[in-house]
Chain A
Amino acid sequence: MAPLAFLNPWALGALAVVPVLWWLMRVAPPRPRTVRFPGFFLLKDLEARASTAARTPWWLMLLRSVIVTLLVLALAEPVRHIGEGVPGRGAVLLVVDNGWSAAANWERRVAKIREMLPGIGRENRAVVFLPTAPPDKAAGPMDAEEAARWIARLEPRPWPADHAKAREEAQKISAGHSVFFSDGTAQADTAKLLEALPGGLTVVHDAKVNTPYVLKKNPRTLSFTLERLRAEAHDRQMSLVAFGAESAAADELKFTFPAGKREVNIDWDMPADMRSRIERVALPDPKMASAAALTDSRWRRRPVGIVSDPANRESKSFLSEVYYLRRALEDGGQVAVDGAEALMKKPLSAIIWPDSAALPEAEQALLAEWVEQGGFLIRFAGPALAANPDDDLLPVALRHGQRSLEGAMTWEKPVKLGAVPEGSPLFGLDVPKDVTVTRQVLAEPAPESFERTWLQLEDGTPLATGASRGKGVVALIHTTAGPGWSDFCYSGLYVEALQRMVSLSAGIGDYKAESVLPPLMLMDGFGRLRAPEEKGRERPVDPRADFIPSPETPPGLYGDRREFQVFNLGDHVPPMAALEKIPARAEEQGYDLSGEKALKPDLLRLALVLLLLDTLATLALRGVFAMGRGRA
């Protein structure tokens, strides 16, 4: 690899012109500026006092010589770091891996191919491309210039490459030499593909550029497993970025991929409010579909309704309860207060039913129906419920009468809160020590009531219970929403528990759609979101069958805005295997660039700029820009 080579060295002979030009310019200076001057008769006698020799300024001569030298050099077509070219004769077959794992450092792959093209062009050899991922087909033969345009359009695909099919196509192509640009992964048929490539063989692969990652997301939480192709000798500092709407980066998590490991687990403890805004989590580098995970509906913001009954909408106890509920939910999302029937018509994900809102039976039936369909109902206890505990719309059966822990009738002290049971969806929240409950409704002891307990008092009696009902959930807080029976509503736990319940509202239980889902938002090979092509080849997916990423079903979000399901590429790819077996006849190369660069365009550009300078200088010498031009 020579540092500098000339493609037309004979043109350098023209440099002999430069000294001739120098001499000519010395002999013939440029025209001076001319002034018609009335004071001429005064000047006439002064001529003798002036110095006589009129010459071209030395800097102008230098400038012009440099311009001519640059032009001659450009004609000689110098190339820096010229590559060795492709061995053999005849057409060159370029096999390019462009399945999902090729997205890692794709630009470098393309740069390597582009660098190889001028050398092929100089030998007047044709280029045939064979991309390995469907639906891309072999292209060519074409010349090197067209090949440069073609490779700029090629993209990695968010599904696996198909080396078996590539082998079939390769057998139909005749070429003097083949170059395989590997992404570093091997499939069952890779060895056969390499055998089938015509002519001599060069395999381009290295561990620096071929670094595919696979990100698998735990379906319920923000925890991930990140896998890579090869273990590395040193710890690698990496980060995950969470993107909100419009692909705006919302948060970043730094982590270390430990040395010697091929996978790492990542738990992201993200604030609940931010969690609901996240659309996608991805590695910022390398950008690839397998390292990007769309999040699903359960992290989205959910609107909440509070039921009121028309009769006592203005009553003090209702207003007080609504006041505390609103304050708790304000930064969690929108809160609507209305009658049950009106709320049903709104797209709500959770409804809160405070005790002071007495509902007629018809409205209770509506509410029960809404829960069956997948709604999340949160009820609060109070005097009304205590008086009528035979209600059907409850997670646990209630005992008659309420428990009062204060006053003349009882001897027990007000009870503090106990630890949150481990199986509870509210597990992990901080329990304040100073909250006391003076009254509550009691659950009828039953075998299932333990596992339905979400919060409990010190003595083990449930404070919050919840149970699935149909597709939905009913939860009951066994005390009042306001300060009537306890000071629970003053505590931070009240706020956190309500928000946690609302954030669970869209996804209690494993939700599975039952009809086929049309594509809604799809990922490209770099993990960026795109809309489905109109009249494209993409098809709806059946969520009950296994998802297989393919040109017909790319990874992404399927369904409509109400009911949708995410299919991430990372969850649906087979384990990665590194390319190890390379035929003995093959020459191996890395993705290092030789830095080959044709210098002709730069030389011409520089000469043009200097030529402009020369024109300006010549005009200035003639006095175009100065004052003192006589009128004709």
Chain B
Amino acid sequence: MSDTLHSAAELAGRLPALLLEAERVAHGFMRGVHGRRRVGQGEAFWQFRPYAPGDARRDIDWKQTARRDAPFVREMEWEAAQTLWLWRDASASMDFSSAKNLSTKKETAEVLLLALAMLALDGGEQVGLLGTDLAPQAHHAAAARLAEFLPAQETFRSTRPIAARSQVVLFSDFFFPLEEVSKFISSHHVSGLLVQLCDPAERNLPYTGRVRFEDAEGDGHLTLPKAEEVRAAYAEKFLAHQRAVEGMARANGWKFLDFSTDVSRETLLAALYGALAEG
């Protein structure tokens, strides 16, 4: 009982901080980009243009036509109500940072996830969390609700159907057998994005001297008398693993992004948004 209370209080304290940080990151980004800037089936006015054969009669703006010599048509901005499905890995390996001034991979993933959700909601899209019971959210202020359900998110296997026009974004270090992801991608015919989030220490193994390494998941340990001896070999293995993840994404028509926790979150969000907007 007291445990539940305690974690609830912790959650209540943590949520606004996460949301605020996500809002800060998203806000800085939104100032530059707004709407789709394309003609489409939205509610927002886009422009008037002269009538051309083939235009529907109900599109003619009679007020404008009365003011001018020729008929004019009112065009609306393109709006597509897509659903964006988001997931971040919550396994123990994500709970790692190599230095005091770096945040953990999990924290970075959550901030990016929420910031991206805010951008999408602001653009009129629906946002859903994979692996939770929450229905996709559509209104502007739904980010708080997403943040509430985020701690409950574990697996990416969805309990809800994923519509064909959806997009999926998975944040993880992908330090687990890749078959699961591969199965998920191939079973859903949606476009998507794999974001591999790593700590700088995981790329180049900066440790020296005698070091005992323990598995983050509690899966054994080993002691190296001189950690620097294996640095080059480790970096090679890391790159090979990363290429495997990327290859899997490409093979299924998904995109792949390589993120580091020591890069500013604004930069990461911009890259993320760019990759999504392209298609």
Contact = CB atoms under 8 A, between A and B. Distances in A.
Interface string A31-62: 01111111111111111011111100000000
Contact of A36 (B173, B205, B216): B216
B96 A34 contact: no
A36 B94 CA distance: 12
Contacts of A627: 98-99, 201, 206
Contacts of A621: 209-210
A626 B229 contact: no
A628 interface: yes
B52 to A, nearest CB: 59
B238 interface: yes
Contacts, number: 115
A50 B211 CA distance: 12
Interface size class of B (residues with CB under 8 A): 35 or more
A32 B210 CA distance: 6
Interface string A609-632: 000000000000101001111110
A631 B96 contact: yes
B223 A32 contact: yes
Interface in B181-233: 199, 201-202, 205-216, 219-220, 222-226, 229-230, 233
A44 B226 CA distance: 15
Contacts of A630: 96-98, 216
Contact of A43 (B95, B208, B222): B222
B224 to A, nearest CB: 5
Given A42-B234, A49-B230, A628-B98, A35 B222 contact: no
A46 B215 contact: no
A614 to B, nearest CB: 17
Contacts of A36: 96, 214-216
A40 B213 contact: yes
Contacts of B96: 36-38, 630-631
B230 A50 contact: yes
Nearest to B206: A628
A51 B233 CA distance: 14
A35 B211 contact: yes
Given A52-B225, A627-B99, A35 B210 contact: no
B215 A51 contact: no
A37 B216 CA distance: 6
B233 A49 contact: yes
Nearest to B207: A628
B202 A33 contact: no
Given A32-B210, A631-B104, 19 more contacts: A29-B210, A32-B211, A35-B212, A36-B214, A37-B216, A38-B96, A39-B234, A39-B238, A40-B216, A41-B175, A41-B219, A45-B237, A49-B233, A621-B209, A627-B99, A627-B201, A628-B99, A630-B97, A630-B98
Please name the 3 residue pairs, one residue from A and one from B, whose CB atoms are nearest each other, closest first: A38-B93, A40-B215, A32-B210
Interface of B: 93-99, 104-105, 173, 175, 199, 201-202, 205-216, 219-220, 222-226, 229-230, 233-234, 237-238, 241
22 contacts: A32-B212, A33-B210, A36-B216, A37-B201, A37-B213, A39-B175, A39-B238, A42-B237, A43-B205, A43-B222, A43-B234, A49-B233, A50-B224, A50-B225, A626-B208, A627-B99, A628-B99, A628-B201, A628-B206, A628-B207, A630-B98, A630-B216
